Amino acid sequence: MTQPMPDISTSTSEIPEVAEFEEADHMLRTFMEEHKDVFHRYEQLAGQYNQRRQAADKAVRAADVTCGPWNRFSQQIKINWKGLYDYLGGDKEKFMSVGGSISRVTQYTGSREELEVRIASGEIPEEEAEAFRTISGRYKKPDAITLP
């Protein structure tokens, strides 16, 4: 069961940082409109740059080398432990003798909807639920502007 989202909104004049952001946003958009030919060319060049960067990254990683601004500064070894166990024919003793270990992990999960019904009905008091339940807002915000 999803909690209804309370309508908690306020004027931008109530939060000065938002009013300042809106002013900066307006100034930036005005500047971009006044220089749209430059920004259009910048978008073209940035698109080309990003495509070529992605292709070069793929090629350098496939070659597994350092080349130009791509610096292969370390390596990482990953082990598929289940694959090793299978390779050893499922022999637990042999697996453990080569560094393997086998463990079981207890994981507590449940139905959020079911729990919310129990809280809403009072079976679990709201104030006690605060010990194991967190309610927080999720936000959509303007994207940051990044420059090289």
Residues 56 and 101 in one domain: no
The answer to whether position 146 is within a domain reads no
Classify 39 in phi/psi space as left (phi over 0), alpha (psi -120 to 50) or beta: alpha
Q: What is the mean pLDDT of each run of 10 residues along the chain (148 residues)?
A: 68 92 95 95 93 96 94 93 96 96 94 95 94 88 80
pLDDT score, position 3: 59
The answer to whether position 126 is within a domain reads yes
Which domain range does residue 50 map to?
Answer: 16-72
Residues 68 and 20 in one domain: yes
pLDDT score, position 148: 63
The answer to whether position 4 is within a domain reads no
The answer to whether position 142 is within a domain reads no
Residues 102 and 113 in one domain: no
Residues 68 and 25 in one domain: yes
The answer to whether position 89 is within a domain reads yes
The answer to whether position 43 is within a domain reads yes
Q: How many angstroms separate the Cα of 37 from the Cα of each of 29, 34, 43, 44, 113?
A: 14, 9, 10, 11, 53
The answer to whether position 24 is within a domain reads yes
Amino acid at 40: H
pLDDT score, position 5: 67
pLDDT score, position 7: 72
pLDDT score, position 18: 94
pTM metric for this prediction? 0.56
Residues 114 and 98 in one domain: no
Which of 142, 115, 117, 145 has its CA nearest to residue 131? 115
pLDDT score, position 146: 78
Number of domains in the chain: 3
Residues 21 and 65 in one domain: yes
